[in-house]
Amino acid sequence: MQSVSPSIPFVDLAPLHQPIQSQIEQAIQGVLQRGDYVMGQSVLEFEQAFSKACSVSHGVGVACGTDAIALGLQACGIAQGDEVLLPANTFVATLIGVLRCGATPVLVDCDPKTALIDLAAAERAITPRTRAIVPVHLYGQMVSPSLLRDLAHTYELIIFEDAAQAHLAEREGVRAGAIGLAAAFSFYPSKNLGALGDGGMVVTKDEAIAHKVRTLRNYGAPRKYFHTEFGTNSRLDSIQAAILNVKLPHLKSWNRDRAQIAEQYNALLKPLLSRGLMPISNLSGKGHVYHLYVMRVMQDQAESIDRETLQNRLEAQGIQTGIHYPLPCHLQPAFKHLGYREGAFPVAENLCKEILSLPMYPGMSEAQVIQVVGAIEESLATPAAVKMSA
């Protein structure tokens, strides 16, 4: 039986790609003509352009965002015996990156309004072995640069940003990737700046760190057949870099589209706050780049709708949604060995039960936003969808 396409997909890349399709094809053709498929001209050009856009001096393209975290932390000197602070509510790539460089991850809870790392909780978790903090700029909103820097200065910590969802995000006049020693980005296709496959980058102001990442990504060799580090093979493909070079000049405009869609959601959802629907708070103003638009379906209000019911009813009307993320890192089966148990991070655990990501992508029309919120209102009005009080 042939499946029916959703009337409003969670992500639709066609509106981004169609206007620049010929440019993308020309960029790919350029790589084919040059034949520099690995570490080619387009990689260097994109490294320079993207690092400049992030207000830092150096960018090193790698195979994916997870590698950017692992290799970036390693280049910053993080190794076995070091403790690294990170939030419990993040995609597992953040945790995997810390584990891959041999460090001990120390998870902390998050703020219930923003879903960002709780820096007060992070401070309480610091020990003499703590070397670094990995703030995750979740959903497109940055962790406060001033508060991060104050914490890092007080305890002599390295700041390594996970900016995989925060391309060109800003807060307090600082751009994502420019707060600390280095940062990791992902160019997974659905990101604000996405390739047509996997890709990642480490950005930094430190030339020595950039040099070490370049060495680590290429079998630990600063030059051919001369290996000074125990490295790996993690290189951004030239074709992906060429595509990203075409897309980068459009990123600011695409981010503005996302912000406008978020404003429409905020206005339309405001009357539903009393019914238990609470958008994640924006403390960054225009600096929030809304990789995702996330709201909480509050579980502690008698008239709030059950998230699963709401999601199912929206799907029945052809509206796709997502959950980012349904299970916090410390409760994932793969990481039981870390020793955390249910209840360790109550805010993160509760958020994972409540959050729902609505459709969000540049090119999404006002009519589509209205349709999404209308479907939510209809679901709220359906008796079977309302959670009954005890």
The catalytic residue positions are: 191
β-strand partners of 202: 60, 184
Spell out where 96-225 has E strands.
104-108, 130-133, 158-162, 170-171, 174-175, 182-186, 200-204
Say how many residues make up the chain.
390
Closest CA to 296 of 357, 346, 345: 357
Closest CA to 179 of 231, 119, 239, 124: 119
Q: Are 306 and 385 in contact (CB under 8 A)?
A: yes
**Beta strands at 200-204 and 58-62: parallel, antiparallel or unpaired:** antiparallel
Closest CA to 351 of 298, 306, 311, 388: 298
Please give the backbone phi and psi of residue 323, each rounded to the nearest 5 degrees, phi first: -130, 115
| Contacts within 8 Å (CB) and 24+ apart, 264-269 | 264/366, 264/369, 264/370, 265/293, 265/358, 265/369, 265/372, 265/373, 268/369, 268/370, 268/373, 269/295, 269/373, 269/376
User: If residue 33 lies in a helix (H) or strand (E), which one and from where to where?
Assistant: helix 21-34
Spell out where the chain has E strands.
58-62, 83-87, 104-108, 130-133, 158-162, 170-171, 174-175, 182-186, 200-204, 277-279, 293-297, 355-358
